[in-house]
């Protein structure tokens, strides 16, 4: 089949686009308002952008029918900081709960039974129960235009300045134990998945050394 998204002529019960780019990592973003209120919310449009130096992003749509932007976006822009916490299968219920709270006066972290832990280099707390926390300094916001101003998306980009990895999630050979962590990821519709298998794909012998370093995460 072929369809044009703007025409919505796919003929299916549900729009398939979000199921065509999967799985998508969930950025569990913690921020603080200028008044010091903590906010925690998950975003399934999030990812790493580069690794030397490290930049990450999360993209948020409008939170209210009037087009008001989400607290995570406002807080990151106004304070210049946020933390990208890893969402995992074990924390899936807490992730879901923090997605449903839209009252900016509520501390989502405590409402979900999570523990705010001090960050090292930024003010927003990290989620103690999350095995990986990435401290970020705000870099910029890219506005992605919607069909009208109420459907704009705001892609927030931050530079990575600090990373916390729980010690028991590091293997004896110095790798992050992904199968132990089981990162949570978004599919289409109401579906999610988690990492349950890992396999290597070996580089060809004639692959340039700089590419091998990139594949392996080195540099």
In a domain, 1, yes or no: no
Q: For residue 157, which phi and psi values (nearest 5 degrees)?
A: -115, 135
Q: Report the CATH number at residue 32.
A: 2.30.110.10
Which structural domain, as residue segments, surrounds residue 36? Answer: 23-216
pLDDT at 146: 87
Q: What is the pLDDT along the chain (219 residues), one digit of tens a residue?
A: 999 999 999 999 999 999 999 999 999 999 999 999 999 999 999 999 999 999 999 999 876 666 678 999 999 999 999 999 999 999 999 999 999 877 778 889 999 999 999 999 999 999 999 999 999 999 999 999 988 777 889 999 999 999 999 999 999 999 999 999 999 999 999 999 999 999 988 766 666 776 666 666 654
pLDDT at 219: 47
Q: What is the pTM of this model?
A: 0.91
What tokens appear for 147 in the block? 């069909």
Those residues with Cβ within 8 angstroms of residue 14's Cβ, 6 or more apart along the chain or in another chain: 188, 189
In a domain, 15, yes or no: no
In a domain, 7, yes or no: no
pLDDT at 138: 99
In a domain, 14, yes or no: no
d(CA 25, CA 8): 26
In a domain, 124, yes or no: yes
Tally of structural domains, the chain = 1
* DSSP-derived secondary structure for the chain: ----TTTT---SSS--GGGTS--EE-EEEEEE-TT--EEEEEESSEEEEEETTEEEEEEEEBSSTT-PBPHHHHHHHHHSEEEEEEPBGGGHHHHHHHHH---TTS-HHHHTT--EE--SSSSSPEETTSSEEEEEEEEEEEEE--SSGGG-EEEEEEEEEEEEE-GGGB-TTS-B-HHHH-BEEE-STT-EEE-------PPPTTS-HHHHHHHHT--
In a domain, 3, yes or no: no
């Amino acid at each position: 089949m072929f369809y044009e998204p703007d025409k919505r002529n796919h003929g299916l019960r549900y729009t398939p686009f979000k199921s065509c780019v999967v799985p998508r990592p969930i950025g569990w973003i913690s921020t603080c308002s200028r008044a010091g209120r903590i906010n925690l919310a998950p975003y399934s449009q999030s990812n790493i952008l580069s690794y030397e130096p490290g930049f990450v992003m999360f993209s948020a749509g409008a939170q209210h029918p009037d087009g008001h932007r989400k607290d995570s976006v406002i807080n990151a822009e106004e304070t210049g900081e946020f933390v990208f916490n890893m969402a995992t299968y074990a924390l899936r219920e807490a992730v879901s709960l923090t997605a449903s709270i839209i009252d900016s006066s509520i501390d989502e972290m405590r409402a979900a039974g999570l523990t705010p832990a001090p960050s090292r280099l930024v003010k927003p707390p990290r989620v103690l129960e999350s095995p990986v926390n990435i401290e970020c300094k705000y870099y910029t916001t890219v506005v992605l235009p919607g069909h009208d101003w109420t459907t704009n998306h705001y892609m927030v980009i931050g530079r990575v300045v600090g990373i916390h990895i729980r010690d028991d999630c590091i293997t004896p050979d110095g790798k992050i134990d992904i199968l132990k962590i089981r990162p949570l990821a978004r599919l289409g519709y109401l579906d999610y998945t988690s990492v349950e298998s890992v396999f290597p794909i070996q580089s060809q012998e004639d692959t340039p050394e700089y590419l091998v370093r990139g594949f392996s995460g080195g540099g």
